[in-house]
């Protein structure tokens, strides 16, 4: 009897517990359903509006255009870097960072309404058929592109195309007009713009972007420089707008010690992820200076911040852009997609790289405002958030508020900008002069493959007398003796660089001749 009573009591208690659990489950379900209905109702409003427009609008609708516009407008309310990319734009943006593209394999410039080939990529389709640096691009298939103010991006689109397809490029070479039928192919895209020894013991690498092949390219370039006796490296990421985060991690890892934090990311729906160096980097003992500018962004800032916060090397230049939002791609069946911000980047000391973006207009004009406010000309004008203070490994204070403030600030120098120099820049006189020099000495210049021969060639041009005469003759730009004295020390290296890039030395020659008058590089070398 006693046992029976005990079982009855247990049954009652169990029944009460089940009842409570069921009640709680129903309450939670109803609460979740209420929240879901609220959220669904908020999102459904957009569909209702589009449906009303479709059923009542006076004219035929472009549904695709309206949908795209609605998505773009919605994402614009989030942050400056969450964007919708239609199919072609998505393809172009992915291709730009992929490390290769399909096309004909040339680099060109447009100094005076006619595109001029600067480089024919080794092993590419254009080299195989005989295109040469200095060729003027006159037509793509039957479309005239020279002398008609043809947009440069449209030229690129016409030359690119799937591997195996053909395109006819008509060029002007001296007095000849030559058509080349080119079969397009896969073309490697290099992210390292230049790599050479800038002085004994000191190497220089300039990185243009963080593409899929960045770490591989940088590592190879650094190994070559080590073989040439490099003990210290100037790593230049000025004007590098970023790219793939994993490449910034691999690059940082090559310089940092085991366990050093590189960066961490965190967001409302993304738990904190911390990335650390594994200690297998091959450049841990190489001296390092990182050069940054107001246009260094995203992956460039991850790299610079990791080096600075770990006190691994000095950062020299001007405050970087301040792009510290992590975008994740989402793709749709029509080959369009969105890049949605899902987290923020933080440097090892805890600084958020992202600058404020409450006002989209202020964000869009931030770089312009830095010039207007004098920030690029004076360290005293830099707006640091001194309330958001962090510390590097050795205890040095660094500040949040957006971007990486360099350890050594280098102002932009405007003292060399004479009226003559500004007038020449406005008409691209320097670039057109360089292409004219190539026309005159194409065979000789194209064959130069060492700096001793290039030095002799440039010395024989008598640029001091020839360029001012050219500027007056071609563009009507007069130069007084005082202006030339002010401008020549800066302009002559620029002319030498523009001419030298037409040789087999390519972009390395451009930077080799131009960097001696680069204030940021000069300061970095002084610090050594």
Q: Is 149 left (phi over 0), alpha (psi -120 to 50) or beta?
A: left
Going by C-alpha positions, the residue among 251, 308, 316 that lies closest to residue 284 is: 251
What is the predicted pLDDT for the residue at 508? Answer: 93
Active site residue 91: no
- Catalytic residue at 211? no
Residue from 193, 239, 260, 309 carrying the catalytic annotation = 309
Closest CA to 381 of 402, 411, 415, 406: 411
What does DSSP assign to residue 516? Answer: G
pLDDT at 123: 67
Question: From the candidates 314, 323, 512, 523, which is the catalytic residue?
Answer: 323
Please report the pLDDT score of residue 457 as a whole number: 96
The pLDDT score that the predictor gives to residue 364 is: 80
Condensed to tens digits (0 to 9), the pLDDT of residues 212-248 reads 899 999 999 999 999 999 999 999 999 999 988 999 9
pLDDT of residue 260: 97
CA dihedral angle for residue 402, residue 404, residue 407, residue 410, rounded to 10 degrees: -90
Of the residues 298, 320, 349, 418, which is catalytic?
Answer: 298
> Residues in the chain with pLDDT < 70?
1-41, 93-101, 122-123
Q: In this predicted structure, what is the pLDDT of residue 186?
A: 81
How far apart CA 329 and CA 306 sit, in angstroms, is 25
Catalytic status, residue 309: yes
pLDDT of residue 161: 84
* Secondary structure class of 205 (helix, strand, coil): strand
């Amino acid at each position: 009897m006693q046992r029976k009573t005990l079982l009855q009591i247990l049954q009652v208690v169990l029944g009460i517990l089940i009842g409570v659990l069921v009640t709680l489950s129903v309450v939670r379900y109803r609460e979740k359903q209420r929240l879901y209905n609220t959220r669904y109702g908020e999102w459904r409003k957009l569909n209702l509006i589009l449906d009303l427009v479709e059923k009542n609008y006076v004219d035929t609708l472009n549904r695709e255009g309206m949908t795209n516009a609605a998505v773009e407008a919605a994402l614009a309310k989030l942050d400056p870097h969450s964007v919708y990319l239609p199919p072609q734009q998505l393809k172009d943006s992915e291709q730009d960072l992929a490390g290769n593209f399909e096309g004909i394999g040339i680099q060109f410039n447009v100094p005076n309404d006619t595109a001029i080939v600067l480089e024919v990529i080794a092993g590419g389709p254009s080299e195989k058929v005989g295109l040469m640096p200095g060729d003027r691009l006159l037509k793509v298939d039957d479309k005239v592109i020279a002398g008609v103010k043809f947009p440069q991006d449209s030229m690129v689109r016409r030359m690119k195309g799937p591997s195996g397809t053909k395109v006819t490029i008509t060029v002007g070479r001296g007095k000849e007009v030559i058509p080349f039928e080119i079969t397009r192919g896969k073309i490697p895209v290099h992210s390292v713009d230049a790599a050479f020894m800038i002085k004994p013991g000191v190497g220089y690498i300039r990185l243009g972007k963080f593409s899929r092949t960045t770490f591989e390219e940088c590592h190879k370039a650094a190994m070559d420089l080590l073989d040439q006796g490099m003990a210290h490296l100037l790593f230049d990421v000025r004007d590098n707008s970023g790219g793939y985060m994993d490449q910034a991690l691999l690059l940082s890892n090559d310089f940092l010690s085991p366990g050093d934090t590189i960066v961490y990311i965190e967001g409302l729906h993304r738990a904190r992820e911390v990335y650390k160096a594994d200690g297998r980097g091959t450049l841990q003992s190489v001296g390092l200076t990182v050069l940054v500018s107001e246009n260094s962004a995203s992956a460039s800032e991850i790299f610079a911040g990791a080096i600075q916060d770990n006190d691994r090397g000095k950062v020299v230049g001007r405050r970087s852009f301040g792009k510290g939002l992590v975008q994740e791609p989402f793709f749709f069946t029509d080959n369009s997609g969105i890049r949605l911000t899902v987290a923020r980047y933080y440097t090892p000391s805890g600084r958020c790289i992202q600058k404020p973006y409450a006002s989209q207009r202020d964000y869009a004009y931030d770089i312009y405002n830095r010039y207007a406010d004098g920030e690029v000309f004076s360290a005293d004008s830099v707006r640091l958030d001194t309330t958001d203070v962090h510390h590097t490994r050795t205890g040095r204070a660094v500040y949040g508020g957006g971007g990486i403030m360099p350890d050594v600030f280098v102002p932009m120098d405007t003292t060399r900008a004479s009226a003559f120099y500004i007038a020449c820049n406005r008409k691209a006189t320097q670039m057109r002069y360089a292409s004219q020099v190539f026309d005159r000495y194409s065979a000789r210049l194209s064959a130069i493959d060492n700096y001793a021969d290039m030095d002799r060639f440039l010395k024989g041009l008598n640029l001091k007398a020839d360029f001012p005469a050219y500027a007056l003759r071609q563009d009507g730009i007069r130069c007084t003796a005082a202006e030339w004295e002010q401008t020549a020390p800066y302009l002559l290296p620029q002319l030498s660089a523009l001419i030298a890039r037409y040789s087999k030395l390519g972009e390395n020659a451009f930077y080799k001749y131009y960097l001696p008058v680069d204030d940021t590089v000069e300061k970095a070398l002084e610090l050594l």
